[in-house]
Structure 1
């Protein structure tokens, strides 16, 4: 089935007016006091970009500015609907594979980061704005786009200036970066945000399953709760630091929340207007095709189709240049005209804070050591400085955890970007040690500038205890050849708090002065029932408790010692006594030492 080209044409001065009116109408329901689906959804008018965003996931490439219809998509069309049955607008249809990728990613995020509350409709809204749902669902059965979706060259001409970071591996450009795939990640962001969403062992930005899962994790970083309006705005703005982008994504989010339906892959509505289309007015006046109302592009061509050079997610560039906001549509070309060369009379743009950075310096970071499972007490402090050593504020510093470790930053990510404060210092989020012990590195780099970075060495040590105590003071006794009635239970603590997950060893030692394993006396049993007198690889539970297996005694009597030691140096020695049963006790009143007649040797058997 041929793709449906549902294009709305905005031309000339009408562009801004129509778009603004549509956004206003669609976002009115988000104002405080109004409800959508029974929930207050306040407008984002007062929202500000996240302070720790790293320049947007997509490197400020263009995005599609099409807005959803004003009429609600509900109810969804019936599967048995006939030609005369009212249908939902075409824009409410999402290609089957693309929709499955969004829902699968949201389900995985619900399990991995339940506090994020990521709705699949948000992924759909961003996918719509970035690539028109992978160009109307032009993907294969595995979810990979039939042809690459590439944003424009990020060479600073109307867009951000991002030199090549992937040697052209993803975008085919070894000089500059380009946004890639249905969710339009730039290679440097994909390098840490990329995920394998379809389980094929690869992280492919051109695969909608991989890209949707990566977008979900990107939106759920920093501990954001997307059911909170302020956090939702921060997450969207971190994807694209643009007020118009926020309003557009919000509009599609609310639209999809009211109802969608599945359509076959490759039949989705293709977008038209793009945020970088600053040549619309010129073409409208000079091109017959563009000036004709209802003019359609050549078949099979859209803003991101054809040669694959269309953009997907526009934002202001790092230098402060804002892409055009024209929403015009209908022209056959989506390639921006060359940027005119700067005339001698044009003023030179002042340097940005990032341009002033000469190097990074450590700002008194302490020793980075923590036990497995704990939060590091020290946080990394990095200072951005000029060549003369002056502080540079408002510079993005990216911290990346490198090495074979499961330690993460707060929020579960291995990358965090923080803005330097007035003193030029960026403080990384707290590190949370995983269970894997050993050393790793945290690298600090300036986002958007090639200057020498810093590397911080950090270490995760084993969980430890400094004190062991028995939970009971009952004496541990047993008769020869018997079993001890009570099991040994101890509590491990570290600096007064329960020490959970601490490794321990229990050994029946020869004496208080000789820690060698005893060859007689009490013992444990192995899986085959054979005596063992040393137990290794024991570990305290989540309350710091350790309960040892049942103890048995051989025929040797006496007092024996059980020694328990833990990582961290905690030691406890427990006494075990093996003695014959006490037979010297006086008979109880009324009892007789003489045998009763019924038990005498010559008693007659009963009849």
Structure 2
């Protein structure tokens, strides 16, 4: 692990030798027929990953190059955003672009629902995203989460890399001869064919979309029954992504770093790594997609001077002649997100629902510019805050929505849980910090408005005996079953006097003692409530059992205690003689 304390993993002969040895060892033990070249790179024949792929294949990326920069040794802390910071970019590497961070958290939340045994932390997706693409080139994505330009790895033509001939007819990487890793999570097309997912719900599985790619990466890491809380399974999952011990160490370093803390930065402002495992300088601080080593450079750096050659002529500092207009500096296009001045409520009605029910109203938030005009195609995040088990449809605590042409974004429907009381839903713009509204939502207790007995059998008992039939009632609300509704049953003195009676029928508690009021009762899933056995003392007469529920439903049940009827003796026959 000592090699990790350097700033670059793949600089120097020692690191290269370690990487080569690791790959060679893995090749020998896990992948017959796969070897490593002098640079420690796979030279396997055509790779065809499958859902059951393990660390012995070319992985999700085809073992493409990756960023080798290690995280700083200091504890992550937010960098000032007021322009006063003197920190170097590397000290701000804990900041993750807003949309990219949202995609990681959304994917991890979905995997927690669909594959809870995997225990996928979103920080692992962030670590792989950092190593594979520098968090989508510092968060250069649009409001839908799609990268502003494709992120392509080098051509996997066997020249220093794995040999993977074209599998997608160039659909994803634009190359009909060989495959290249694609997108912020760097999937090769043949892996994406089965691992691809639609993470943002637009009906398309796009490896260039950070929501789709993050969800796909989560499913890829959670296959084979791996439990990522187990260090062995965690290592196997990461190695299956890129079969290199150096890659594993780099990802684990970032995973540990992000677990210590991270924070959200605006899209497009993330720190981009500078060094890659193929020895190139990556994209530096300006971003841009990878390029194949065989591709011509599109930049035109100044040619350094050589001894004996004339020095380059410095640019003229003479001001232009009087009257000559100075051309304005090129303008930077303002993105929709940058033009948002504030968020405001867009006519959301009162948010109230009974426990267990769906809220009938949905939250609508409008993004406006400084002139008060709606801004379309920006993403709004809605977060549930407070002590509540309410959630958005699908069980999510955080949801995102895109504003329409009027600048309005509508959150998914809210579903109330069993916890009653008020909670908050907070609206925020993804990519920038602007003023946004908070919405108060309230969950009320379950109620019933009607109670009826399920039978009409008379309830009678002899003094000192027990009633043959138990009391059972059904609760409804608006003619629908009222389940899980709280109820109370009390033996009262009369229909006009709700005071608890001190004689007549009674229930028994767990110790066999007389009880005439039962609390904490709840209707079942069918709205039914069956009371315990009723007994009676020696008092005869007519008595009243009153059952009430939350919501005001009330039912009085008549109970009768009377002596058993006896047969009358026959009258003596009149005397024959009178």
- How far off its partner does 1:446 sit? 0.8
Conserved 8 A contact 2:462-2:563: yes
Structure-2 change in CA distance of 1:422 and 1:251 (3 Å):
closer
1:521 aligns with 2:504: yes
Choose the corresponding residue for 2:400, options 417, 428, 452: 417
Question: Which residue is equivalent to 1:470?
Answer: 453
Choose the corresponding residue for 1:70, options 36, 41, 46: 46
1:90 aligns with 2:56: yes
Conserved 8 A contact 1:204-1:210: no
The one-character-per-residue Cα deviations of 1:115-135 (angstroms, maximum 9, x if unpaired) are xxxxxxxxxx59999989xx9
Structure-2 change in CA distance of 1:442 and 1:69 (3 Å):
farther
Conserved 8 A contact 2:57-2:240: no
1:402 aligns with 2:385: yes
- How far off its partner does 1:518 sit? 0.2
Looking at structure 1, the residues matched to 65 and 361 of structure 2 have their Cα atoms a distance apart, in angstroms, of 39
Question: Which residue is equivalent to 2:524?
Answer: 541
The one-character-per-residue Cα deviations of 1:313-352 (angstroms, maximum 9, x if unpaired) are xxxx95699x99x9996216557266799x9887323211
Conserved 8 A contact 1:177-1:186: no
Looking at structure 2, the residues matched to 255 and 338 of structure 1 have their Cα atoms a distance apart, in angstroms, of 30
Structure-2 change in CA distance of 1:332 and 1:382 (3 Å):
closer
The one-character-per-residue Cα deviations of 1:367-390 (angstroms, maximum 9, x if unpaired) are 111111111111111111122221
Conserved 8 A contact 2:222-2:237: no
Question: Which residue is equivalent to 2:439?
Answer: 456
RMSD: 6.0
Question: Which residue is equivalent to 2:185?
Answer: none
Aligned counterparts, 1:327-406, within 5 A: 330-331=278-279, 336=284, 347-406=330-389
Looking at structure 2, the residues matched to 369 and 570 of structure 1 have their Cα atoms a distance apart, in angstroms, of 21
Conserved 8 A contact 1:204-1:211: no
Looking at structure 2, the residues matched to 464 and 67 of structure 1 have their Cα atoms a distance apart, in angstroms, of 68
Looking at structure 1, the residues matched to 507 and 90 of structure 2 have their Cα atoms a distance apart, in angstroms, of 65
Looking at structure 2, the residues matched to 191 and 255 of structure 1 have their Cα atoms a distance apart, in angstroms, of 15
1:569 aligns with 2:552: yes
Looking at structure 2, the residues matched to 553 and 178 of structure 1 have their Cα atoms a distance apart, in angstroms, of 72
Question: Which residue is equivalent to 1:446?
Answer: 429
- How far off its partner does 1:568 sit? 0.3
The one-character-per-residue Cα deviations of 1:212-248 (angstroms, maximum 9, x if unpaired) are 9xxxxxxxxxxxxxxx999923359999975387689
Looking at structure 2, the residues matched to 374 and 469 of structure 1 have their Cα atoms a distance apart, in angstroms, of 23
Structure-2 change in CA distance of 1:243 and 1:332 (3 Å):
closer
- How far off its partner does 1:541 sit? 0.3
Q: Larger RCO: Structure 1 or Structure 2 (Cα < 8 Å, ≥ 6 residues apart)?
A: 1
1:233 aligns with 2:198: yes
Looking at structure 2, the residues matched to 229 and 398 of structure 1 have their Cα atoms a distance apart, in angstroms, of 30
| TM-score, normalising length: structure 2 | 0.56
Looking at structure 1, the residues matched to 109 and 90 of structure 2 have their Cα atoms a distance apart, in angstroms, of 18
1:480 aligns with 2:463: yes
Segments of 5+ residues of structure 2 without an aligned counterpart are 2-17, 25-41, 130-192, 227-231, 259-265, 288-298, 302-314, 316-326, 573-578
SS at match of 1:91: coil
Structure-2 change in CA distance of 1:6 and 1:148 (3 Å):
farther
The one-character-per-residue Cα deviations of 1:157-190 (angstroms, maximum 9, x if unpaired) are xxxxx969xx9xxx994x575349xxx9749965
Question: Which residue is equivalent to 2:157?
Answer: none
Looking at structure 2, the residues matched to 435 and 248 of structure 1 have their Cα atoms a distance apart, in angstroms, of 32
Choose the corresponding residue for 1:178, options 79, 95, 107: 95
Conserved 8 A contact 2:378-2:402: yes
Structure-2 change in CA distance of 1:461 and 1:357 (3 Å):
same
Conserved 8 A contact 2:196-2:207: no
Conserved 8 A contact 1:524-1:532: yes
SS at match of 2:419: coil
Looking at structure 2, the residues matched to 252 and 410 of structure 1 have their Cα atoms a distance apart, in angstroms, of 21
Structure-2 change in CA distance of 1:263 and 1:320 (3 Å):
closer
Conserved 8 A contact 1:359-1:452: yes
Looking at structure 2, the residues matched to 455 and 490 of structure 1 have their Cα atoms a distance apart, in angstroms, of 42
Conserved 8 A contact 2:276-2:282: no
Looking at structure 2, the residues matched to 563 and 506 of structure 1 have their Cα atoms a distance apart, in angstroms, of 6
Segments of 5+ residues of structure 1 without an aligned counterpart are 8-65, 78-87, 94-124, 136-145, 156-161, 213-227, 274-296, 594-607
Looking at structure 2, the residues matched to 499 and 493 of structure 1 have their Cα atoms a distance apart, in angstroms, of 4
Looking at structure 1, the residues matched to 221 and 247 of structure 2 have their Cα atoms a distance apart, in angstroms, of 26
Structure-2 change in CA distance of 1:329 and 1:301 (3 Å):
closer
Structure-2 change in CA distance of 1:401 and 1:567 (3 Å):
same
Looking at structure 2, the residues matched to 409 and 256 of structure 1 have their Cα atoms a distance apart, in angstroms, of 24
Looking at structure 2, the residues matched to 178 and 258 of structure 1 have their Cα atoms a distance apart, in angstroms, of 32
Conserved 8 A contact 1:468-1:492: yes
Conserved 8 A contact 1:504-1:567: yes
Looking at structure 1, the residues matched to 331 and 537 of structure 2 have their Cα atoms a distance apart, in angstroms, of 92
How many residues are treated as equivalent by the alignment?
Answer: 414
